[in-house]
Structure 1
Amino acid sequence: MKNHEKKPSVCNCLNLRRASLAITKIYDEMLAPSGLTVSQYSILKHLKHLGPVSVSELALHIRLDRTTLVRSLKPLEAESFIMDISQKGTRNRQLQLTDKGMVKYLEAEALWNQAQEYMEQKIGRENIEKLTSLLTMIESL
């Protein structure tokens, strides 16, 4: 079956999951030269803008489950893109982007911008705006 022949499901949840997987695949493929996934890029972007932040606060900003976020942080810490700057023996970690992480973020940002432009070209700016509005409404249910 060709892409334009794909039929939607009667299940709204399944349609959203399929769309999410398709968009994630596009972004991950476009970010691949940087070695980051779209989820990892998002973490670096949030850390760049938030500065030192606790894992819980970062999870709230990204709107991810804390456990999922912790799992996503491990490869970024292993690559020294992020570091914990909290004092030894402290329970609350304070995460910060490293210089190496900033370089990786900037490399990936150009690729992410290309992914954004690709989506806009394929779907159209007006449709992206509608989609964003609808997704925001759905998230607030």
Structure 2
Amino acid sequence: MSSRTPNHEIVPLETTHYVRDHCLCLYAQRAARMLARRFDEALRPLGLTSGQFSLLMSLNRPLPPTLGSVAALLAMDRTTLTANLKPLERDGLIELRPDEKDRRARRLVLTERGRGLLFRAVPVWTATHRDIEAMLAAGGADRLRADLNALLGRDDGKDRS
């Protein structure tokens, strides 16, 4: 048996170039990695990653959210969310508490320490976000958000809770 791939199983280089130049998934992945690196670098002095900032921000509400609602907002499965919560809980930034009305559900509570860290992180996020938006053409950030939300099947992507 030959170790060479038969000619009929070879993807032409033109196809490789087409995918490289047109694949929305590839473009979204590359952009997401660049954005995460920029925010990670900016938030590093506070001991936060971009993902942790987003998670803490998702808890900043009048009524502490359920695990399921945060997982849905962040487009994470519950197992991944739980793994991401552990360091925040260990560091005293969040607490998991049973729901008072439904003891099977758990609510995620931003602690005083977590609120303080989030308060210090917001100006860092704001400056970084402003710099990134400035890289886009006028109106580009709003258009990008609208297009990404369209892919998610949402009107505006805003969680009203």
Larger radius of gyration: 2
Indicate yes or no: 2:21 matched with 1:17: no
Unaligned runs of 5+ in 1: 1-7
Show the counterpart of 1:5: none
2:112 and 2:133 map into 1 onto residues whose CA distance is 31
Q: List alignment gaps of at least 5 residues for structure 2.
A: 1-19, 155-161
List, as ranges, runs of 4+ consecutive aligned residues in structure 1 with deviation greater than 3 Å: none
Distance in 1 (alpha carbons) for counterparts of 2:62 and 2:77: 18
- Aligned-residue identity in percent: 30
Aligned residues: 132
Amino acid at match of 1:76: L
TM-score by length of 1: 0.83
Corresponding residue number in structure 2 for 1:82: 94
Alignment correspondent of 1:96: 109
Report the Cα distance in structure 2 between the residues aligned to 1:11 and 1:32, rounded to whole angstroms.
31
TM-score (norm 2): 0.74
The answer on whether the counterparts of 1:51 and 1:97 sit within 8 Å (CA) in structure 2 is no
Alignment of 1:31-110 (within 5 A): 31-49=43-61, 51-86=63-98, 90-110=103-123
Q: After alignment, is 96-105 or 119-128 more displaced?
A: 119-128
Q: Is the 8 A contact 1:30 1:114 kept in 2?
A: no
- Shift, 1:61, TM fit: 2.6
Q: Which amino acid aligns with 1:101?
A: G
**Distance change (3 Å), C-alpha of 1:35 and 1:120:** same
Superposition RMSD in Å: 1.9
